[in-house]
Amino acid sequence: MKAGWIRQSAVLLAVGSLAFASIAGEPAALFGDLGSLNPVRLSKEQLEQLLPGAKMSRKISTPRTHYWTNDSGGTLVISTDGRGRVGTSSLSTPSLSPGKWHISPDGRYCVTIDWQKAPTEDWCRYVFETGDGYYASKTDHDLSEKVYRLQINGR
């Protein structure tokens, strides 16, 4: 009986924490959290207008942030502010790494980063615009999928 109560309490605490994060203005963590922000998935055509030349950033984990610009030719140079870790490497100084970006035929933003001190990063994400900014997700329907906040041109 006690174990069941503990499990129920843990579930309620987790749900309450997600609700508080949404209310407190914290960035969404799961695709389902975007619901109240009225997300609109950007089409391939919209991404083709928005992303070339765009100044991008993403906070990976507290406190590490990455910054890059999508060059019109499909290349980028990503920088990290030198805080935290990349893979198994600890970074104490800022670093730069080359990469490439493109928009897939199904309208996903795709990035490959050739990290110097960690494995190559390769991903494609749908981009959603909300009243709170932009988010990237592997899915456009799975409510439990993690989403990532992207700063695009300072928004």
Residue 64 lies in a domain: yes
| CATH code for the domain in which residue 63 is found | 2.40.128
> How many domains does the chain divide into?
1
Distinct helix (H) and strand (E) counts, the chain: 2, 11
Residue 115 lies in a domain: yes
Which pTM does this prediction carry?
A: 0.76
Residue 15 lies in a domain: no
Residue 40 lies in a domain: yes
Instruction: For residue 149, give Cα distances in angstroms to 11, 51, 60, 66.
Output: 25, 15, 9, 12
Residue 147 lies in a domain: yes
Residue 20 lies in a domain: no
pLDDT at 62 over 80: no
* DSSP reduced 3-state for 58: strand
Residue 13 lies in a domain: no
pLDDT at 13 over 70: no
For 94, the domain range is 28-152
Residue 6 lies in a domain: no
Q: What is the pLDDT of residues 122-154, one digit of tens each?
A: 999 999 999 989 999 999 999 999 999 999 999
